[in-house]
Structure 1
Amino acid sequence: MIKKLRKKFILINMTLISVVMVIVFLAICMFYYQWSKAETYEVMDKVISMKGGMEPRVFEIGGRGPRNPEAFIPTFTVLLDSNHEIQTVGKDRVSISDESIEEVTQLVLASGKIDGTLLDFQLRFLTRQTPEGFKIVFADMGREIESMTNMVTMLVFAGIGGLAAFFFINLYLSGWALRPVEKAWEQQRQFVADASHELKTPLTVILANTGILLSHPHDTISDQKKWVEYTQAEANRMKKLVDDLLFLAKSDAYRAPALVQTNVNFTDAVWSCLLPFESYAYEQGISIESNIAPDITLQGDEGQLKQLVVILLDNACKYAGAQGTVTFSLERKNDQIRLSVNNTGVPISQKHLDHIFERFYRSDSARAREHGGFGLGLAIAKAIVDNHHGRISVESNQAAGTTFTVIFSNKS
């Protein structure tokens, strides 16, 4: 799909560029044609106004004076009497036979036009009634045709070169522009594969347990209580996974602040989440240290903010290690609210830190499964922080342990 999208991207861009270039080149050719035509008629108008024949033409070399166009455009003049008979012919460095002069003169008279073009002879003409008689001045179009041919040739080569350059630029830019799309597509495919895998395990267990129950139709629930409890546990596990997936799906769909915005006492919310973990930590041999500033308030969704705290605390307690320590702090610095959760234990390597907030990502799959995780907790935490226009980051090393830091802006 990405390859087809890239081809369409290049095709559309090249088509648009080609159309624009054709329009621009046609405009240039039209302008140049009109300019050459106007210059030729200007010369013919000067020539036809002359009395007593053609003046010597001077080639100007150097200087900043105006260009002398008549020096470059060959012309000849035909003076007719009242019967339209040729009286005199004025030629200046023009070689043309009397028969040709007679022929072009008759063609002009037959046309009845004041000015025009004789394409077969590559001539422009201009007629005027003067005191001397009826004058027709002819100008050679060779220079115009040659200039237009050179112009068109130059534009064609420039267009081909430009299109080739645009093609390679498009080739590079299309890959660059579609890189996020390709990444999102791969993430979506991986997300679906991982979600299917995670759902497959509890479904398999549920089906196996129900198969066992059906194979003993005469037993009571008490006799098969163990399999019923296993089925319920797996169903609850699957429900938790589906709830997490729905939360992330909604976050992707809206990309907006939390729907329920209230003035939350963040200090109280943190304490309400922290206290239940003390018994869990005690059973695991983990100590929890806290430094929570009083009366910190935040505009947001209280439910989501509590979920964020629980996710970070749960993650820290799971990986603090035997006789480990979890340090939780909440403080206000200027216009920012800073929440950090640190735990001891084996640090996370840099290659895993770069992907720690991705869905279904586990730095240690075996350890994550042992703790019953799906690899969605930190992805949900990031989604909650994003919904509240905050920032979440992680640092991990052997000396300081692993620290998740969340920063909210709060100017109220």
Structure 2
Amino acid sequence: MFKKLRNRFLIVNLVSISIMMLVAFVTIYTITYQNVKRETNMELFKVSDFYHGPYGSVAHEGVNSGSSSVPSTGRGVENDGMGERGIGAYRGPGGDPKTPPSRSVSFMIQTDKQWNITDTHSRFDMEESFYTQALQKVDQDQSSLGDRGRWTGQFALNGTDWAYVVDPSGDGHMIVFMDVTAQQGILTNLIYTFTVVGLFMLIVIYFLSRYFANRSIAPVREAFEKQKQFIADASHELKTPLAIINTNTDVLLANQEETIESQAKWLHYIKSETERMSGLTNDLLYLTQMDDSRSTLIHTKFNMSDAVESIILPMEAVIFEKNISLDYSIDPDLMVHGNSEQIKQVILILLDNAVKYSGPKGAVNITLQKQNQDVLLAVSNTGEGIAPEHLDRIFDRFYRTDSSRARKHGGHGLGLAIARSIVDQHKGEIYAKSAQGEGATFYVRLSLGRGSAA
């Protein structure tokens, strides 16, 4: 069950994160694509405007139709810091070089209305077949899109990506081409990067999710196991008195002619086990009420010293009857904030527990004192003590270190669980210290209320 729960948690987590990553990657790619496309079109339009301008007209002088542009100046290749500038670098007034404002390779084709090449211009030497292939790509797009004035497009040719803009003119078309392989490479690399990063992140997230899923499920598994144990223990506790009641009832029914007085023993057994069941159900109901009413109970400042004494005094006679010595030391007027009746119940549980397990001719010691800003109650008893492996679990419901001894002394393992629940509600601390063969000491630490005696 828990394995299925963990796997379901992993699947939901991975699907959710994958969707978020995909949305993020698509958003980033879309924004990047739009930016690259916008910058490409701006640069392409600048190149197109150049060929439409006066320098474009100068560029055409000395150019034979259908051939690459070779200026009459006959200048060779120059380097202007932006890369090579080949044939077709012109100088305007003042000696400034005038070239198409492009950081990429670009060229122009002039056609008539029937899309026949009438003129070409390029900064670099290109074969005639290349112009023809490029024009065919544009003609294919034009056939599918129709003649709709100025338009842009993009195609791949011989492993290079080209963007173009078509400007219709009165006697034909002017098509300007620009190499955008670098820009397309950015987008392609972005996709590869997203794919690699996404896969890597999913692997990392899988192991992280698995780790946190196990940690998250651990308390659920523990609570489930405790619940199963609780049901099993409660059933066991109820099973024994029910069996006794059932057996004694059968005895009574089998001897119907007997008087009530002669059957009194069986009736006492039934009453005793009924009271035992009543005590168990009351304790279970009290624990449930404690869990459900943590925020509704009224806490006030009360005298902790008086509360301890009010429990000890009625118990003295019972303790002495069991031949157990009692010693106590209580600092006066120690005030705490909480519910006095609940704290008295904690004191009674600890004192009753100490008396039960102190052993023959044992001793019980109670101290209440101020310790820094806290009140510390300690209830000690002689006896066999508690093994170290049991100290952390003795406050669990129905937990017993020795079931046979617990049955002998009575109770059903809920007293210390009730005490811990009450102390937790008061934001205090309860714990035990023990050494086997030397008895045990239970401690309750509560915060001092304002106005306590120094």
CA distance in 2, matches of 1:183, 1:59: 71
How far apart are residue 331 of structure 1 and its match?
Answer: 2.2
Structure 2: where are the runs of 5+ without partners? 60-68, 70-76, 84-100
1:116 aligns with 2:152: yes
User: What per-residue deviation string (whole Å, max 9, x for no partner) do you get for residues 113-163 of structure 1?
Assistant: 534324576642235689xx9743223454444443333233223222221
How far apart are residue 393 of structure 1 and its match?
Answer: 1.4
How far apart are residue 269 of structure 1 and its match?
Answer: 2.2
Residues 128-207 of structure 1 aligned to structure 2 (within 5 Å) = 135-207=174-246
Displaced runs of 4 or more, over 6 A = 54-57, 81-85
1:210 aligns with 2:249: yes
Aligned-residue Cα RMSD (Å) equals: 3.1
Counterpart of 1:220? Answer: 259
Deviates more, 1:307-316 or 1:323-332: 323-332
CA distance in 2, matches of 1:367, 1:59: 96
Give the structure with higher Rg (CA): 2
Kindly tell me the number of residue pairs found equivalent between the two proteins: 404
Residues 237/89 of structure 1: CA separation in 2 closer, same or farther (3 Å cut): same
Residues 197/47 of structure 1: CA separation in 2 closer, same or farther (3 Å cut): same
Choose from 347, 359, 363 the match for 1:309: 347
User: What per-residue deviation string (whole Å, max 9, x for no partner) do you get for residues 335-363 of structure 1?
Assistant: 32221111122221211112111111111
Residues 188/58 of structure 1: CA separation in 2 closer, same or farther (3 Å cut): farther
User: What per-residue deviation string (whole Å, max 9, x for no partner) do you get for residues 300-329 of structure 1?
Assistant: 223211111110001111112222221111
Deviates more, 1:197-206 or 1:285-294: 285-294
> What SS does structure 1 have at the residue aligned with 2:375?
strand
Are the equivalent residues in 2 in contact too, given 1:258–1:388 (CA < 8 A)?
no
TM-score relative to the length of structure 2? 0.80
Are the equivalent residues in 1 in contact too, given 2:241–2:277 (CA < 8 A)?
yes
How far apart are residue 81 of structure 1 and its match?
Answer: 7.6
Residues 183/102 of structure 1: CA separation in 2 closer, same or farther (3 Å cut): closer
Q: Aligned partner of 1:287: which letter?
A: S
> What SS does structure 2 have at the residue aligned with 1:97?
helix
Counterpart of 2:422? Answer: 384
Residues 238-277 of structure 1 aligned to structure 2 (within 5 Å) = 238-254=277-293, 256-257=294-295, 259-277=297-315
Q: Aligned partner of 1:32: which letter?
A: T
Q: Aligned partner of 2:132: which letter?
A: E
1:348 aligns with 2:386: yes
Counterpart of 1:333? Answer: 371
CA distance in 2, matches of 1:340, 1:113: 96
1:99 aligns with 2:137: no
How far apart are residue 263 of structure 1 and its match?
Answer: 3.5
Q: Aligned partner of 1:291: which letter?
A: S
Are the equivalent residues in 1 in contact too, given 2:373–2:448 (CA < 8 A)?
yes
User: What per-residue deviation string (whole Å, max 9, x for no partner) do you get for residues 69-103 of structure 1?
Assistant: 944x4322234689987553222445553433544
> What SS does structure 1 have at the residue aligned with 2:261?
coil
Counterpart of 2:121? Answer: 90
Q: Aligned partner of 1:376: which letter?
A: L
Structure 1: where are the runs of 5+ without partners? 62-68
Q: Aligned partner of 1:359: which letter?
A: R
Residues 70/347 of structure 1: CA separation in 2 closer, same or farther (3 Å cut): farther
Are the equivalent residues in 2 in contact too, given 1:258–1:387 (CA < 8 A)?
no
CA distance in 2, matches of 1:22, 1:167: 16
Q: Aligned partner of 2:227: which letter?
A: Q
The percentage of aligned residue pairs carrying the same residue is 37
Residues 362/179 of structure 1: CA separation in 2 closer, same or farther (3 Å cut): same
Residues 318/101 of structure 1: CA separation in 2 closer, same or farther (3 Å cut): closer
Counterpart of 1:374? Answer: 412
Q: Aligned partner of 1:384: which letter?
A: I
Q: Aligned partner of 1:320: which letter?
A: S
Residues 98/260 of structure 1: CA separation in 2 closer, same or farther (3 Å cut): closer
Deviates more, 1:44-53 or 1:243-252: 44-53
